[in-house]
Structure 1
């Protein structure tokens, strides 16, 4: 809210005791008529109070000649004396007894000056009115006094609410009430600082409770640990001392002490007012949606007032920058030269404030913040850039969409248009038979608005949302009944004109578009169904973000977790990928793909190989909802079924190994197909076979060497990507025993392999191998550790060959000659070499012996 001195008039009636005993203020809105305080009939009750008590005073203020015909604010004021403590005071029970004014509930109590202000507003009264108001000032504390003390209260009239009571049409302070503080003879001097024990450097200290006329010494330290002398003051007739702290050192304790030897003391600490400001963005524009930034203040005070100014900006321009963020901004003439120098605002450190540079000339500015009651001054820099007029345009000259799908129409905003609103017109009713008038707003001020246009819902108010904004903070305004052409059928295939501008009028946008584009609606189709499989425990949310998307499934396919297959192991997932265009609008209108099943589309999963004389098994989709996951993609839709949790319509039956099922997806929506005939329905299907789980180890028994890096392998029909755990546990007769596990993944060919370290074991140690899926054992075998011996490599020995040709086994196949050469009758004596038997891990002794005999026969003869 801005206090405009051209519109505001203030009437201030102040009750000021001769020695400043009481003070308070009330403000009014009005025009330039001069008012006069009625000091004879105005009053304060009670007018006599005891020392060292807390009281509520009822104030009656009367002013005549007040112009209440305007609609501004006027002020009445009461100034309570310095000897009183108003730090806990407030204004209650306000009543307008006469006069054409209303009370807004706004009051202020300044505990340092003891001025109480209350604001009233004109209510179209008369040029010369008599205003009579009554209100209570609560929790007014009196000091201890030496002898009864009497003083006069005063009121004054402030015509223009500028804080001065001497301008034209003001009525200066005048006496109207005697007030007396009674010395009860029971109180002792008890000095204190009214505004607390913490004083921010620059604030005034107001200490009360000293003797009238007493010398008061200001020293560093405390009364119990005094430091050095700082200053000497004389208490006024009410025992009060007031002084500034601009020259006192921060972080220092001070205390005041009367010199009459009665021990009157009052202590306080001077601290630095810490104050800083942080701007969310220091570079802003002067037009469009980029004109604002957020200021956040940090301070060691919760709330305080500050003057804001800038060297190259007028006070009025600074006020325009601050108006959006601060509740009240008040222009101030700080040097009393008739020109406003700054803007006064109240800062709360828990609040964020908006600064708006709209209309400010481009340039670099420094905003100065001078706290009104302390020595603290800070500044922050903002850079204002000149923003052009700006306009709206399409990022592409044309956009294409399949009939029934949702078109994304991307609008770009530049210059002053960034962050503002505009109009998009889709189609032309006269020439294209359809028109939609859409108002959009660039709420996130990024210069881009994507309008999603549902070609399935277009032309109807009952088939889903026609348009919406893609970005969360952007928005569109559209009434499906009044902002578009109503049509009976789905929006026809063809080309539609797109018009856009920053105007808020659709007709102007069509007549004078800032850019033109085209929307081409093409034919839709229902194409195919492809089957995939995945492990039962697969996490389909690959990126970990909210919701399973087509991108998640694509990642799992790339990673080999989802593989193409139509033979599904019982308990694994079967993924139905449906390729179809033009379904996006229907799915969006229904809310999601799951809701569209049964509302425009159908899905059936039916057995194709029922037992003779038995009905085919059918999956109950409703009862199986917990086993189904629906994923919407771009031109593809996915229905994932957990075969272990599917429920059949005949609950007495179960899915067993060998069952074959056909999954059929059918588009039945009349609006989408343009027909209500069942023969026009479009279907795709695929068949899968359920088989029993099967897992085997490649060897039984499993033999490993007493060495590291030993592998245990096997095969399974669980889906690739399934995690299995291989456990190796020693038998009870092996000491010390051993136990090892390895978690393995089923590969695309159905194999799995685990690696184990047997280097600490001895030949002959036996063990048991088990393979587990989850907590269930799916395969097992016995095992044994054998010697880890390296095989010798045979070495060729040179032997003199006989002159006759002898058949010799070679590594390469050689065509046999047509004539045979008889082998010599003489035997060749074999060398007396020692034969070493080597056990090869994974092979039995019998297998190795057969292999050696075969090699000997091959070398001994040639056919």
Structure 2
């Protein structure tokens, strides 16, 4: 593709600047310069483009026609300081015409001045002098010009299919004429490729019209394989050209082959995929009337050039009308001749598939239907019996409110027999042979039903069980895998119950015995039960805690669905620190804080809670600078002392302290309960900090002294 447009543009502009220097020095002296060919007439008030050569007629101007005439006119440019001289332009000494080459000019406003009487003069639409004028009345506007050209595709085939390559142009002029040349092809071949243009024998170019946001076409049928470079030059602008190349490939044999077909349950939609090589059209035959009394003939086109076509055969509608085959993504069906079954949908069994790249041919014993001519590939479509297999309960975070496709389900659900809070209940139903009958995102067939009913102690006395039906669910179909998902918010359970809805619920999917594909004459049902319970979220087991003046982690647990996002807030009259967390598969989550802040003192009290459930989750915390940095420790200590008079002395203690006293027996026990989460403090001590250890030692010493006394 075009990677050198900007480079060529830069080189062209550099060349223009060099030319302008020589132009200013030489002043286009002599009649040879004045005889340069022109593209258009220079007219006052017009806009012109850098690179154009514009002719004007100075006849009658005092710059010519006298013995001492200079035979030149001066070019001036408008600047902030007024018009400034740029260069002289030589006039033809015979007809007094001149040519302005704009290649070396900067964008801006310009005017021509009579070098004899030092006055500006205006030019009419024919480029002829109208007379003296002010700069503003004589000026014309020179604009920078941009231009690019690029083949839409890197390569093109020289036979079999589309051999036309599109070329996109872009110019700030909107529409320009472009001369196309190439050193890689002969002039005859160039004329064939750009047959829509006008050939120029003199320079062996072809002139085409190029417009921004429109495509021109190069015809490469029969062109030898190889890499070809083309140069596109704006034909009224010297030096403004770009190049682009394209690879022409030799076309191979046209082939069409089936991708391995999997068995499709009766009543579902069979996906038929065909790969195409060196062609974008094919002729597909599904079934054979002579063998199975069923056949569908289709002409198909690869509309997105991905080398593949996809057909969807609705096996349930084969007895309705001929439109039971639809085009998949990137596929267009251009002709359809299909038989229609007279009674039930397509029966189980094997059906021939054939695809051709050449067309159709008549077969006398096939009920008047053509067959694929010289098939490129053959296989069989296998239609199996349908079934109703299972139903299971899954849950999904409340925040998932879009269910447009299967990925929305499989990426966000977790299988579980309990649901809490406002999470989504997801019923995964495994059943086949129903997706051809189901239309849209609902179960609207009278031969199928989905119900959700409260059971057990959840049913109030002397009342009927509350129920929900298929219309209350959002249905997401995954017919390729014989599955559909039914989604409902747990809040709907509470609404149906009229209270909180907590308790057991039973979900049932049924394919009625009257369903045309239900061959056993009985209802087919599958069911599952789950429990709806109140949201239960806690932090640190509901216990208050101490946090170091540094990193600290607060852990929590909830019965909400994995993937639920919560905001855990550490809050005081000094700070408000929210932390977003995600519930893990096991229901746990953790929030990390750093209390090493200038505004947080030792002993600062705060609370931590889940913002969506503050009343039920709030616990207290206090900053303890003596703790290991990042260690959260909760300690409870109980001491019991029993004293009995005795002549002997026996001391039993859980510590290493032993005291003696006449006629006294002392039993002392100390029990400690410690809960610790990962952390450390500034002195690096595990467990108790130095200050806590010193206090404990002093307390033990005082106790021993008291007993001794």
- The answer to whether TM tops 0.5 is yes
Contact 1:460 1:488 in 2 (8 A): no
1:736-815 matches, within 5 Å, as 737=574, 739-756=576-593, 766-772=605-611, 774=612, 777-782=615-620, 788=626
1:378-417 matches, within 5 Å, as 378-396=242-260, 398-415=261-278, 417=279
Partner of 1:164: none
> 1:320: Cα distance to partner?
4.3
> 1:499: Cα distance to partner?
0.9
> 1:583: Cα distance to partner?
2.5
Q: Which of 306, 324, 327 is residue 466 of structure 1 equivalent to?
A: 324
Q: 1:683 to 1:597 in 2, by over 3 A?
A: farther
Partners of 2:173 and 2:299 in 1: CA distance: 45
Q: CA RMSD in A?
A: 4.2
Contact 1:526 1:579 in 2 (8 A): yes
Partners of 1:225 and 1:469 in 2: CA distance: 68
1:414-563 matches, within 5 Å, as 414-415=277-278, 417=279, 420-461=280-321, 465-472=323-330, 474-479=331-336, 482-505=337-360, 507=362, 509-537=371-399, 539=400, 548-556=404-412, 562-563=413-414
> 1:629: Cα distance to partner?
5.3
Contact 2:300 2:309 in 1 (8 A): yes
Partners of 1:475 and 1:600 in 2: CA distance: 33
Partner of 1:288: 160
Map Cα deviations across residues 290-313 of structure 1 (whole Å, 9 max, x no partner).
Answer: 523332223453322233344565
More helix by share: 2
> 1:696: Cα distance to partner?
4.5
Aligned residues: 573
Q: 1:515 to 1:265 in 2, by over 3 A?
A: same
TM superposition score normalised by structure 2 = 0.69
Q: Which of 186, 198, 208 is residue 48 of structure 2 equivalent to?
A: 198
Map Cα deviations across residues 338-397 of structure 1 (whole Å, 9 max, x no partner).
Answer: xxx44332222342323331232333434343444333454433332221242222233x
Partner of 2:436: 585
Unaligned runs of 5+ in 1: 1-109, 114-191, 336-340, 542-546, 557-561, 731-735, 791-824, 850-863
Partner of 2:34: none
Q: 1:206 to 1:228 in 2, by over 3 A?
A: closer
Partner of 1:632: 478
Partners of 1:403 and 1:350 in 2: CA distance: 49
Partner of 2:683: none
Contact 1:429 1:485 in 2 (8 A): no
1:562-641 matches, within 5 Å, as 562-587=413-438, 590=439, 592-594=440-442, 596-609=443-456, 610-619=459-468, 622=471, 624=472, 628=474, 630-632=476-478, 634-641=481-488
TM superposition score normalised by structure 1 = 0.58
Contact 1:194 1:206 in 2 (8 A): no
Contact 2:494 2:500 in 1 (8 A): no
SS at match of 1:585: coil
> 1:452: Cα distance to partner?
2.1
Q: Which of 696, 704, 707 is residue 546 of structure 2 equivalent to?
A: 704
Q: Which of 367, 384, 395 is residue 230 of structure 2 equivalent to?
A: 367
Contact 1:195 1:206 in 2 (8 A): no
1:119-130 matches, within 5 Å, as none
Q: 1:836 to 1:289 in 2, by over 3 A?
A: farther
> 1:841: Cα distance to partner?
5.5
SS at match of 2:464: coil
SS at match of 1:374: coil
SS at match of 1:488: coil
Partners of 2:51 and 2:570 in 1: CA distance: 77
Partners of 1:668 and 1:244 in 2: CA distance: 91
Structure 2 residue 502 is matched with structure 1 residue 645: no
Q: 1:756 to 1:469 in 2, by over 3 A?
A: same
Map Cα deviations across residues 683-713 of structure 1 (whole Å, 9 max, x no partner).
Answer: 2211222223334456565232555455555
Structure 2 residue 476 is matched with structure 1 residue 660: no
Q: Which has the larger radius of gyration?
A: 1
> 1:554: Cα distance to partner?
2.7
